[in-house]
Structure 1
């Protein structure tokens, strides 16, 4: 008869529960992987598969603490926080892209064209939705999802499971990274905003020169056409910017987790 002691059972639980909580928190908060359209069973299965592969490498570095104690629960919360922080860093990139789309759509007169965004459980502009899809495709094209999985796997050796957790500097770094939403959003939307600003100035001059002209009948289709034209011409230049943003976010995550290099699967 096989007998398992309480200490062996606690060690077995800790080997899987703590890494699983970090990996599952990343999958739940990261873009693409955390999309609500992906079934929960698929997310849980992916997290379990990664945990099974990672567990043998982290077993020796785990603290000898009972997972059911107060310190064990604190460690569990810390692992969840680490996973959410990694996913938050990458999600900032997609929020910046969607913000750029909202700025463009607002200036084009498409502020009324709003769709429900299932990923964020809120309303989003049609241009923001379009640029969000482009960002998702670019993210998959450069294997960003594989980089995140490789990063979370290597994080257990550089940031092992322990009661220490993350430092205050980590939260400061994440807060500063949040400013990237406004900077990158404005950078992405600047070409279209500049063209629409020139268009509105020209329409203002035209209105002063010909007061009898119905500016509402002429202005809306004109700004819409010019906005779509400049957006189409700007699309080839968006890919390098998106790739730069993704690599910046990966470098930030590597700095938080003290990972010097990501080994691609």
Structure 2
């Protein structure tokens, strides 16, 4: 490839489409979509990786006109959005479980701004979300995504991604799976909270002088924290498994 040949319309449009593929990746997927990363940094990263992977770009297969270029850009944005939705649904099992745990412990009103999503979130959900983010970094998810984009260049032509019925069905299945797995992670504390409520209710019937607010709630919170610490490693292992399964499905898009 000579220098004059890379400035033809085909390669310029290909560069733009490749840039939007990386930009969509950095906007929608976990780790890269962190709210604390300024948009200028994300754009700069997308531009840098576009230059790095430019030599791996296959020949462009679309016609060079305004309509086809716009449709191709939308296709690349939908491609990144689909990847982001699939991975976020798998990642959000831990925040969903944290919300249930916070409610059962009486911490649902104790919330703070989550630095990753930028929204108010119970503190247990925020803690599990930050720990989950470290798990994603430990399994090199950011490296997986870059390698996935490199592999997708030969499997999915630039501007050639289409939203299929199977993809919609998997997203619906992943959303329902997020609820089931999140409830499964929180179940030990849910069961403990129900048992504690039953015990405290029996104590209040047999001992009317028992002060639930002064004695019962601190005991419930303390025991819940003990169970959370005991099940923390299992919760992170479940998150890791969910993310690996989601990434395995992404390869099926090829």
TM-score (normalised: structure 1): 0.88
Is residue 19–residue 51 contact of structure 1 (8 Å, CA) maintained in 2?
A: yes
In the alignment, which residue of structure 1 is the partner of 2:16?
A: 17
* The one of 117, 129, 134 aligned to 1:132: 129
Q: Tell me how far apart the structure 1 counterparts of residues 150 and 80 of structure 2 sit (CA, whole Å).
A: 11
Return the match for 1:186 from 183, 188, 203.
183
Indicate the SS of the match to 1:178: helix
- Determine the C-alpha separation between the residues in 1 that align with 2:205 and 2:145: 55
CA distance in 1, matches of 2:247, 2:130: 20
Aligned twin of 1:217: 214
Stretch moving more, 138-147 or 41-50: 41-50
Distance 2:152 2:58 in 1: 14
User: Contact 1:27–1:87 (CA<8 Å) still a contact in 2?
Assistant: no
The question of whether the paired residues in 2 share the 8 Å contact of 1:98 and 1:131 is answered with yes
- Pair 236,55 (structure 1): closer, same or farther in 2 beyond 3 Å: same
Gaps (5+ residues) in structure 1?
A: 259-265
> Equivalences for 1:99-114 in 2 at 5 Å?
99-114=96-111
CA offset digits 1:41-100 (Å, max 9, x no partner): 32122212221222222242x12422x511210111011100111122111123211110
Gaps of 5+ in 2: none
Q: Match of 2:225?
A: 228
State which drifts further: 51-60 or 188-197. 51-60
1:156 & 1:26 partners in 2: Cα distance?
A: 14
* Contact 2:71/2:159 (<8 A) preserved: no
Q: Does the CA contact (< 8 Å) of 2:95 and 2:129 recur in 1?
A: yes
Q: How many residues align?
A: 252
TM-score (norm 2): 0.92
Q: How far apart are 1:153 and its partner, in Å?
A: 1.6
Matched, 1:160 2:167: no
> Is residue 2:198 matched to residue 1:201?
yes
Q: Which of residues 220, 232, 249 in structure 2 aligns to 1:252?
A: 249
Mapping of residues 55-74 of structure 1, within 5 Å: 55-60=54-59, 62-66=60-64, 68-74=65-71
* Cα RMSD for the two superposed structures: 2.0
Residue equivalent to 1:37: 36
1:83-94 equivalences in 2 (<5 Å): 83-94=80-91
SS at match of 2:30: coil
Q: Distance in 2 between matches of 1:74 and 1:42?
A: 26
Partner of 1:263: none
Q: 1:29, 1:21 → 2: CA distance?
A: 12
